[in-house]
Amino acid sequence: MGTLALRPNVPQVACFDTAFHRRHGALVDHYAIPESFYREGVRRYGFHGLSYEYISGRLHEIAPGIAGARVVVAHLGSGASLCAMKQRRSIDSTLGFTALDGLCMGTRPGALDPGVVLYLFQSLWLSARDVETILYKKSGLLGISGISNDMRELTASTAPSARLAVEYFVYRAVKEIGALAAVLGGIDALVFTGGIGENSVEIRRRVAAASSWLGLEIDDDANAKRATRISHAGSRVSAWVVPTNEELMIARHTGVLLGLVEVRA
């Protein structure tokens, strides 16, 4: 018996993790497949929207000078994605129809040639369930390293496969940061959030160093101390560490829907 049946007088609220990206236009949302599929709902929805919405609000509070500028937010964790924001709105995201797209994640591969999936079906004769298990539970950092999906274990390991997994994670993040910078026509700030983005000094250092061509100069001392701003004062592109709070966003939306709190700008 479901909660609604047990507590029929208690409001049930759903907060969609895709809602922050809902203003994307057709150009961003489309896949280059027959249009009929788009009309049936096969499109790029994006995820981690609650996290990005929270970061958008926090930037308005802690760094109003860049909050409305061209910002790439890196939500790096077991699930990982990037969001390009301008005027505090989502312009593009690395996640698409499902949470399998874009960056390498803990157990998910990120962007993958669809031909690989066809190969698993047609040449290796794997079942749909087997392929689903591979894509959602056996790929990503775990798949490459064969050791763990935990970035803390991988960065501490001397195993070549662990080093490769870490390097691949950074490579994919840096590559997509460059792509989103192109979409924005430049970048004014890079924000790290999520379990890895907030806590891994090493991953932030590597990503920032590989993104230096954008004009980002990281302050190693500030990064090591987990300061809010981790770039040098003179850096053309600033870098920030902003802890996310998706649960708070759910609570706020629920409060607004129930008329308990006012809508926040």
Q: Write out the catalytic residue numbers.
A: 17
Neighbours of 188 (CB within 10 A): 19
- At a CB cut-off of 8 Å and minimum separation 6, what does 113 contact? none
HSE value, Cβ hemisphere, 13 Å, CA-based, for 101: 16
HSE value, Cβ hemisphere, 13 Å, CA-based, for 202: 10
The Cα–Cα gap between 36 and 51 comes to: 32
> CA nearest 154: which of 101, 81, 103, 105?
105
- Sheet (strand 238-241) strand order: 89-93, 81-86, 71-75, 189-193, 238-241
The Cα–Cα gap between 213 and 162 comes to: 27
